[in-house]
Chain A
Amino acid sequence: MKTSNDIKPKDDALRQLMHRRKERRPMIELPKEVEDRVMERISTMEKVSAPRVKAVQLWILRAMSAAAAIACIFFLVETMIPEEKEEPSNVVAKVEVPKPVEPEAELEKEQPKIAEVNLRPTQRKKPTPKTKTNVVASVEDVPLAEAEADVCIDCEMAAMDCELTAMINEFENQ
């Protein structure tokens, strides 16, 4: 279906008149000077654009080369440098082995200190004079206690040996 866009003017008086006006009008040609000016500007545009295009292409190549070089360096750095291994920990968890200390000696050793720490100055009692009965085991007495304990153990071991020897003899004599 034809629309107003496709309809051409009727061949009426107005159209005929317009065609007569066109025929009456002298044919105009574009002056040669205008043509020459246009062609001159076109050639100038071409001369400017050619080196500019080359410069742009060169810049792109250089940018790509630089990017490739950086990528290579990065890759080499990542692969060549060994990873820093974590040093194996030689430190073994220290297990504190408590010293075999007489519990009574330990307690007696700490008591005077605790007594001094816990008490505030206002609460501190007057120091009682030391007597024979209330003398606590000093540090110097600890080795003696240990030695006495060791002697007791030796005695026991000796006693056990005797018993064992006796048993063996009895067995052989059977």
Chain B
Amino acid sequence: MKTDDATIIAQILAGETKEFRHLMRRHGGTLLACIESVIGSREEAEDIVQETFINAFRSLRQYDDSKASFATWLHRIAYHEALRRMKRRRLPTLSWDEDESLLKYAEEADTDDWLTDMTEEQMQRLDKAIDLLPEYDQMLLRLYYEDDMPLKEIAYILDSEASILASRLRRIRNRLRKELQKNR
């Protein structure tokens, strides 16, 4: 029987620190994939995930399961670690506020008609359009569409607000629609 995260955390806090390895095996892969898609480097992503788990162990007593799941909490730590490194290296940071490239898509209403009855060719073109998005937009799409994570949780990870993220998602969809119509 698979032990849930809360039970393992309780064991670790009771002194059985070796159980922390189970948490790493459970969440490490997902975390690594997510960070790698943002950073673009496997080696850098592994360092970030390593620091994430060490910081998580240090802060384990402060973890509150009523606020977010353990996976979400880990993602939040990983995101801030990635942001810190990117700022230190003066790389383009994950700006979750206004993005000038997407501002022009904010005015148009978000309609989902274009996402219905898509042909395979259209799906492939959409796939390529997603690859051209900035890393942080891809991360938002992954968390929202792949992991089916509520906007409230994503806002907790990214230290933003759900309303801001909702607005950004609308703009991303509008941009993808424009790209799709452009390539017809």
Contact = CB atoms under 8 A, between A and B. Distances in A.
Interface of A: 4-10, 12-22, 25, 27-31, 34-35, 37-39, 41-43, 45-46
The 3 closest A-B pairs by CB, nearest first: A30-B28, A18-B145, A12-B115
Contacts of B25: 29-30, 35
Contacts of B46: 30-31, 34
A18 B140 CA distance: 11
A28 B17 contact: no
Interface of B: 17-18, 20-21, 24-25, 28-33, 36, 46, 49-50, 53-54, 57-58, 112, 115-116, 118, 122-123, 126-127, 130, 141-142, 144-146, 148, 150-152, 155, 162-163, 166, 173, 176
B146 A19 contact: yes
Given A39-B20, A42-B17, A42-B54, A5 B152 contact: yes
A17 B32 contact: no
A14 B50 contact: no
Nearest to A26: B33
B21 A6 contact: no
Contacts of B152: 5-6
A17 to B, nearest CB: 6
B49 A34 contact: yes
A90 B126 CA distance: 114
Contact of B141 (A13, A18, A46): A18
Contacts of A18: 130, 141-142, 145-146
Contact of B53 (A9, A21, A38): A38
10 contacts: A15-B145, A16-B123, A18-B130, A22-B146, A28-B29, A28-B33, A35-B21, A38-B53, A39-B21, A45-B58
Contact of B50 (A28, A34, A45): A34
Nearest to B114: A13
A24 to B, nearest CB: 9
Nearest to B147: A22
A158 to B, nearest CB: 117
Interface on chain B toward A: helix, strand, loop, or mixed SS?
helix
A17 B123 contact: yes
Contacts of B33: 25, 28
Contact of A9 (B29, B58, B144): B144
A28 B25 CA distance: 11
A12 B17 CA distance: 44
B126 A43 contact: no
A35 B49 CA distance: 10
Contacts of A12: 112, 115-116
Given A17-B123, A34-B28, A4 B176 contact: no
A4 B54 contact: no
A36 to B, nearest CB: 9
A39 B33 CA distance: 21
Contact of A30 (B49, B141, B162, B176): B49
A22 B33 CA distance: 10
B77 to A, nearest CB: 13
Given A5-B151, A18-B141, A38 B146 contact: no
Nearest to A10: B112
Nearest to B12: A42
Given A4-B166, A13-B123, A29-B29, 5 more contacts: A10-B115, A21-B127, A35-B28, A38-B54, A42-B57
